[in-house]
Amino acid sequence: MSDRDKAAGAIRRPPPLTPDDALFLDFDGTLVGLAPTPDQVHVTPGLPDMLAALSDRLGGAVAVVSGRRIVDLLRLLAPFTAPMAGQHGLEIRHADGRLSRRAAEAAMQPSLDALARFAACHPGAMLEDKGGSVALHYRNAPHLAAACRDATRDAVVASGGGLRAIDGNKVIELVPASVGKGHAIADLAGEAPFRGRVPIFVGDDATDEDGFARVDSMDGVSVKVGPGVSAARYRLPGVAEVIAWLARGSRR
Give the residue numbers annotated as catalytic, written as ranges.
Answer: 26
How many H-runs (helices) and E-runs (strands) does the chain carry? 8, 12
Element (H, E) at 85: strand 84-86
Question: Alpha-carbon distance 16 to 10, whole Å?
Answer: 19
Give Dmax over CA atoms of the chain in angstroms. 54
CA gap 249, 19 in Å, rounded: 9
Cβ atoms within 10 Å of 13's Cβ, excluding its own:
12
The phi and psi torsions of 137 (rounded to 5 degrees) equal -95, 140
Q: Which of 59, 54, 52 is nearest to 16 (CA)?
A: 54
The amino acid sitting at 37 is: T
Q: What is the DSSP letter of 144?
A: G
Handedness of CA 38, 63, 203, 47 (dihedral sign): negative
Rounded Cα distance, 222 and 215, in Å: 6
Sign, Cα dihedral of 3, 238, 125, 38? negative
